Amino acid sequence: MPRLPRFIQAGVPVHHVLRGNNRAGIFVDDRDRLLYRDLLLEGVRRFECLVHAYVFMSNHTHLLLTPATRDGVSLLTQWMGRKYVTAFNRRHRRTGTLWEGRFRSSVVGSARYFLACSRYIDQNPVRAGIVRAPDEYPWSSFSRLAFGTPDDLVTEHAEYRNLGRTIGERQRAYFELCTPPVDSALVLDIRRATRRGKPLGPVRVRSPRGQATGRIKARL
């Protein structure tokens, strides 16, 4: 059966998930995570993607990012795969693949889902039982968005900036948003959409020339 084409639009946020092969670990230690982060920072600049939220778990990663071009996310993922897997294999004296296959993704087409997806990503270590609160996990965007901790990987999205008129207001609002867990129905929506490659919320469809041709709604 042929692969279904990905629905990704330039300028529209994407929830991107990449898992280790057979759910195996993709990071052995923090040195691996730091390498992955450094490569990701280089990659998003090279392929014109803006990262708004992220988390590096032991066997998978989540990104919420906006590509400037339709193929930016795919090119970034391919480039990261070559660079990181080569370095990982060399360091740990192994061979073969590291990823389970194609990355999973869903475009995020509404403010409601954008903030829910950002919270979902930053709360991932809490749901996994690794930490009790998001700020206890160092490999996510939470500290940047909730406390202003310097993190040059993160670019604030307009929906985040709409949380307050000042930096302090936005940080407090995001912290409060992330205090309760994401509603279980929203968690299910996010996971189902990412697994199926369906959009989260209505998305304006554009032609190859960039002209709007209509809107589609999420089919979860």
* Radius of gyration of the CA atoms of the chain, in A: 17
Was domain 14-201 assigned CATH 3.30.70.1290?
A: yes
pLDDT for residue 213:
37
pLDDT for residue 135:
96
Identify the DSSP state of 136.
G
pTM as predicted: 0.89
**Calpha distance 170→41 (Å, rounded):** 24
pLDDT for residue 145:
98
pLDDT for residue 212:
41
Kindly provide the b/e burial profile for residues 128-167, where b requires at least 16 CB atoms within 10 angstroms of the residue's own CB: eeeeeebbebebbbbbbbbeeeebebbeebebbeebeeee
Residue 39's contacts (CB-CB under 8 Å, 6 or more residues apart) are 80, 83, 84, 87
Report domain extents, the chain. Answer: 14-201
Q: 158 — alpha (psi -120 to 50), left (phi > 0) or beta?
A: alpha
Identify the DSSP state of 20.
B
pLDDT for residue 217:
42
From first to last of the 220 residues of the chain, give the pLDDT tens digit: 345 556 789 999 999 999 999 889 999 999 999 999 999 999 999 999 999 999 999 999 999 999 999 999 999 999 999 999 999 999 999 998 899 878 999 999 877 799 999 999 999 999 999 999 999 999 999 999 999 999 999 999 999 999 999 999 999 999 999 999 988 998 999 999 999 888 987 776 554 454 443 343 433 3
pLDDT for residue 23:
86
pLDDT for residue 206:
54
212 burial level (CB within 10 Å; 0-12, 13-18, 19+): exposed
**Calpha distance 4→196 (Å, rounded):** 10
